[in-house]
Amino acid sequence: MGHQHFNGLKTAALFGVLWAVLLGVWAIFGRGSSTMLLLFVGFGLVSTAYGYWNSDKIAIRAMQARPVSEIEYPAMYRIVRELSTSARQPMPRLYVSPTAAPNAFATGRNPRNAAVCCTEGILQLLDERELRGVLGHELMHVYNRDILTSSVAAAVAGLITSLAQFLMFFGGGGSRDRNANPIAAIGFALLAPVAAMVIQMAISRTREYDADEDGAKLTGDPLALASALRKLEYGVKRAPLPQDQRLVDVSHLMIANPFRGAGMAMLFQTHPPMAQRISRLESMAGRPLA
């Protein structure tokens, strides 16, 4: 599928910047400490692999979701089965979370190990057409391998933060170089983790745009998803999730940012502004939502 906003290219460029920040931290602080770098990289790889392999279990447990049958939720099953068949992909496992906060997410390391979860709140809020738009979006996260993308981005950002903090406090070959500017080095060490977090959030936002576009193409109904996003924007404001760390850790998977946020907090959100997402979907349909 071609993406009219070049989201795949943006993701690749952001990953390039993220790796450049990592190399910058190492160039300033880490010369001569190859063993320590390898230890950090090794730990990052292990933690990333664990999170990626168990992404479905972690998210489902955090949302206290339960598997549901077709008898309980026939519309949800019918929509997902139709979209999976249209995409020539296997049917994922379906879950429902007993929370009034309207949201949905899909997770799993590949289509054969995927899970789609809706909250009770979103099932009550949306009509069937809008729910179809949301489920199309979520399935495309799985088909586009966005769980792997977000896992790698989180791992590199975490590595930058840990490495900068360790090398700033315990020193590295580069930090002791007599030509180095210690004030500039400390400033870079403080700013690098912030930059890494901002880039990680930007990668997440490009994947949301991608899932919006590809999900709308899968359903053939961009305005249905636009209508759902508009309802979700107000629904989340009325019933946000609590700032529990387990929920914060999986919030990037959800179709709508489940927390309240404003001002500088918007910079670190994993989701693009709803107005921009809706505008792009309306552009795909060739007309604004009535």
Q: How far, rounded to the nearest angstrom, does the alpha carbon of residue 136 sit from its chain's CA centroid?
A: 16
State the pLDDT at residue 178: 47
Alpha-carbon span 135 to 101, nearest angstrom: 17
State the pLDDT at residue 264: 42
State the pLDDT at residue 204: 81
Nearest to 247 by CA among 275, 270, 263: 270
Consecutive 10-residue averages of pLDDT for the chain (290 residues): 53 68 64 60 67 77 95 97 96 96 91 94 97 97 85 72 67 49 64 73 85 95 97 94 85 88 56 93 76
Alpha-carbon span 105 to 200, nearest angstrom: 19
State the pLDDT at residue 78: 97
Q: What is the CA radius of gyration of the chain?
A: 21
State the pLDDT at residue 270: 77
Nearest to 143 by CA among 197, 203, 100, 83: 83
Alpha-carbon span 93 to 50, nearest angstrom: 21
The helix/strand/coil state of 66 is: strand
State the pLDDT at residue 165: 67
Q: Hey, which residues are catalytic here?
A: 138
State the pLDDT at residue 217: 95
Alpha-carbon span 1 to 140, nearest angstrom: 11
The helix/strand/coil state of 115 is: strand
